[in-house]
Structure 1
Amino acid sequence: MVTHRIAPVKSIIIESATEKCSVAVADGDQLLSFVLAEAPHQHASHLTVYAQRALREAGLRLIDIEVVALGHGPGSFTGLRVGAAVAKGFCLALPKLKFLTIDSPLALTKHLKSRVGKSENKEIYLPTVNSRRGEVYAQAYLTNGETIGELRSEVLNEAAFPEIQADVTVHVGGSGTNKVAELMAGDPRDFRFHPEIMATADILLPLVSAKIATGAFEDYASYEPLYLKPPFVTKSTKKLL
């Protein structure tokens, strides 16, 4: 019987939901390059530059790429909008490119689970992304990957995360980790904080590979990110002439 080896698929992965955008390039399951923004809020000015750098460091050109993968959100309205625009621009430039999106909280949960140690209690994973003042986007997950409660922007006060009981260990990661630690410092539940574990393009790779394997591609033209909240617009205090 003759078997045919399936060549690995080359992909470029964009994560733009958090303050620092990032880009990764992969060949199948192998990460070839990863570029993280040097400063926060550089999405509009630097995301395409970082994509070009990631391709260059991987020794590839955009024409070599077969799949564009994008973190779906939630997160910064502007960041998600820019990430979607860049991904769509790539697909418009090269019609052969396939497009897919990744559940960012699920990817962060899987990464948290692989990085943190075991506790004596039942464990819950809480991926977070900064939202507005005093809030984080969050979704609680059980060890088996099932969700508890809903994905939402949670106000961090004594009533936060009612679905999480006191008899569990809660591993918190993502860009909202420090905010949760600060605003829920008096909470009696066993929160364990991992601010170094962030939602970045490289941690999306396992889910990207899984989606490529099943052919779970999407229509880029009709795609909209998971904003959850509209943009926050402040009114100018300057007087009009």
Structure 2
Amino acid sequence: MATILQIETATQVCSAALSKDGKTIAVKELMASNIHAGSLTLFIEEVMGMVGLQFSDLDAVAVSKGPGSYTGLRIGVSTAKGLCFALDKPLIGVDTLQMMAAGFMQSRPEYEGAICSMIDARRMEVFTAVYNAKLDSIVDTSAKIIDEHSFAEELNSGVLMFIGDGAAKCKDVIRHENASFSGANFNSASNMSALAYNAYSHSKFEDVAYFEPFYLKDFVLTTPKKK
């Protein structure tokens, strides 16, 4: 038995959810720019209130660990670590791209092809990884600049479903009979329930003191051009 608080802030979606034994029992989320800092703790309190739980009732806290937005990941991970320190609960890190693939498979359990999760990284670059229908990794996580030759090997091998906010901008570039694109959003804390429960069941916990998000690329500070 495990009740887990789940946090997802890797993209523009700010999301908090509760799960019990791998099943989502409450979720609160909103897609909007620059809301994570002001909304995340409110969303957490709201989902706890939805099911009448106290923070002491939690068995663990899970957080989407990246890759994704530098600022969003820092807010989510800092909040999760703070809760784990205060409550003396274990911390679970969930791969963001795998979580997205899990969400797609929950919506399409009959699907038997491969899933390419994509997070927009500006211009024609994406953070991406490819999974099979069992959520095993086929292509490791990387930052990839997309062109007409991207994922040629995987596409020639079978059906490949592209998902995530990075997939839409690739639709006009990746033209292959085996390429499909989903416009649905899978960046939700509710989609990490089974993954978080599996990690909890196998005691796969992070070191709360030293855990850092998986940024994939270094943060680059840009200065606006003077007019």
| TM-score normalised by length of structure 2 | 0.90
Superposed CA deviations along residues 172-203 of structure 1, whole A, max 9, x for unmatched, are 11222212224x25x22421111214121001
Q: Does 1:224 align with 2:216?
A: no
RMSD over equivalenced CA pairs, Å: 2.1
Q: Which residue of 2 aligns with 1:155?
A: 145
Q: Which amino acid aligns with 2:84?
A: C
Offset, 1:238: 4.3
Equivalent position of 1:5 in the other structure: none
- Runs ≥4 residues deviating over 6 A: none
Report if aligned partners of 1:168, 1:189 keep a CA contact under 8 Å in 2: no
Give the corresponding residue for 2:188: 200
CA-to-partner distance for each residue in 1:33-71, whole Å, 9 max, x for gaps? 101125233112211111111111121222322210011
Query: CA 1:217 to 1:191, structure 2 compared with 1: closer, same or farther past 3 Å?
Result: same
Amino acid at match of 1:159: H
The residue number in structure 1 matching 2:90 is 98
Structure 2 counterpart of 1:139, which letter? A
Unaligned runs of 5+ in 1: 1-7
**Which residue matches 2:73?**
80
Equivalent position of 2:26 in the other structure: 33
Bigger CA drift: 10-19 or 107-116?
107-116
Whether 1:214 aligns to 2:202 is yes
Per-residue Cα deviation, 1:198-241 (whole angstroms, up to 9, x for no partner)? 121001000111111122222111101110012232213349xx
Q: How many residues align?
A: 227
| Larger RCO (CA within 8 A; separation ≥ 6) | 2
Instruction: Letter of the 2:86 partner, please give it.
Output: A
Distance in 2 (alpha carbons) for counterparts of 1:145 and 1:205: 14
Q: Which protein shows a greater Rg? A: 1
| Equivalent-residue separation in structure 1 for 2:70 and 2:63 (angstroms) | 14
Post-superposition shift, 1:162? 4.0
- Which piece of structure 1 moves more, 230-239 or 9-18? 230-239
The one-letter amino acid of 1:14's match is: I
Unpaired runs of 5+ in structure 2? none
Distance in structure 2 (CA, Å) of the matches to 1:48 and 1:99: 17
